[in-house]
Structure 1
Amino acid sequence: MIVPAFNEEAVIGRCLEALLDQVVPADEIVVVDNNSTDRTALIAGGYADRGVRVVHEPRQGLVPARDRGFDEATGDILGRVDADTLVEPDWVLRLTEAFADPGVSAVTGPSWFYDAPMHRAGLAAQRLLCHRVNRMLSGHPMLWGSNMALTRECWQELRAHACPGPDLFEDLDLAIHLHRLGRRVHYADRLRAPVSARRLAGSLGGLRRYLRTWHRTYALHDQHRAAAGARVFTATGLVLLFPPVALLLRAYTPYEGTLSPRRLFARSTTAVRPIP
């Protein structure tokens, strides 16, 4: 299992605990420290006696960190999550079941926000916006970087085709190249890995800059109709969905599960959802 990490001291411990608390244990867990200036590497290194290995990638960026992790891993199945992911206890088991089909090259699944209210609604929204919409736009399955895995043999072929970034959705880039290589991506709905809502809890400008990469990734691969569709969905979401979601997250107290109107007027409510 590979976990790219840059300045993730607030969340890396919980992520590793979830990866270690599996009904079927992972063969290995590799944390790729990407020049963190906080205690990320120190915290991850504290799990060395439980089989977690920390490697350092000096080239800055998610793509170089991801590639280093895939290259360092020794297993036949290369799982990949983000540092704010909390996989469910049967995550490794579900991966094993999915890859029992020899025709499957990659597996992905849904997520929801563990530090936001209405988990079922979040799960349904993630299925729709991240998986079904992208499949409609591109004509092939999407990969979700916070919850995915490849076979080693697939990565060895895919590596030469994957784009170096930095201004792209690296998981969408992989999905596009897998489709072009004729590789099968399997969507496993029971392979679930909740993530933090920290990006949605940030500023509108920051979210807009992040989502701008969506249509740019399609355009980079000459999928211009998909790029136009991504622009429309992005603009619609920012106008119609971001304001009420942002207010809901601001009023919500993560990990306590309560809504407090007083938090709407607090100076800052982002400390528990840090964005690197």
Structure 2
Amino acid sequence: MAAGRAAALGGALEVGLLGPVRVVAYGRPVTLAAPRRQVILTALALAPGQTVGTAALARYLWGEDLPSPARRALSTVVTRLRHDLGMDVIRGTAGGYTLAVPPEAVDVYRFRALLRAARAAGGPAELSLLDRALACWRAPGEPLPDVGSDALVAEHAPALVEEWYAATERRIDLLLANGVHTELVPQLRDLTARQPLRESLWCRLMVALYRGGRQAEALDAFRHVRELLADQLGVLPGRELVAAHRAVLRHEPAAAGPTPALRRTHRAAHRPRPRPRARTRP
């Protein structure tokens, strides 16, 4: 009986974190009355069905400047959050609190589930599933933009941003492989403007420009990113970017087909990237 009630409540609540925090309860939008309640709900929604410890929740709320007593102050915030939601989906445990909803009630987990399905599907279905996954983002590449907790955002946002870029790059690779190129140039220009030091985006922009008959622009793009890397990081372009430049410069077949920069396994395309090592200074 209790399990059935929990399932019913879980299905009645939806939480969106891939953009400004959005809460829907029983089909109606919920406005959280205070920023601290939003922080607590976000922390719990990032681990649905799991206990988040009181120490972690207090740190997300107050950092090192904890009120006294912190546990009672936290309990007050949770009580008011329960009142906002109008349902009993936040459960107290001995060590913390749990948001009693299934993972699919949170857009982060719907996005990740669709990515897994895309990797498993391959072929034409992969592109369709990637489109559905990326559509989960209401603010593309910008998770938790309005969550008032530096600690919580720093702990979770970078991985989500990387997952978005990896999925976006994989989608671009599939479109390039299917003969789409000119239509991708505006998107890639926007992406390189947002992440000017992400070399993988510049590789794809160069290929898309070249395949659209715009070799000079592709070479200009390489010169631009080379200067950015030298000025801001003091490094030379990486191996993949140099290979893409060489292919475009020499009209090599690799620039018309899959380039070395784009021939990555799907698993690698979605794996979080390690921090790049410093390359030779010019």
TM-score range normalised by the length of the shorter chain? under 0.3
Bigger strand share: 1
- When Rg is computed on C-alpha atoms for both structures, the one with the higher figure is 2
Please give the TM-score of this superposition, normalised by the length of structure 2.
0.24
Please give the TM-score of this superposition, normalised by the length of structure 1.
0.24
Task: Report which structure shows greater RCO (CA 8 Å, sep ≥6).
Answer: 1
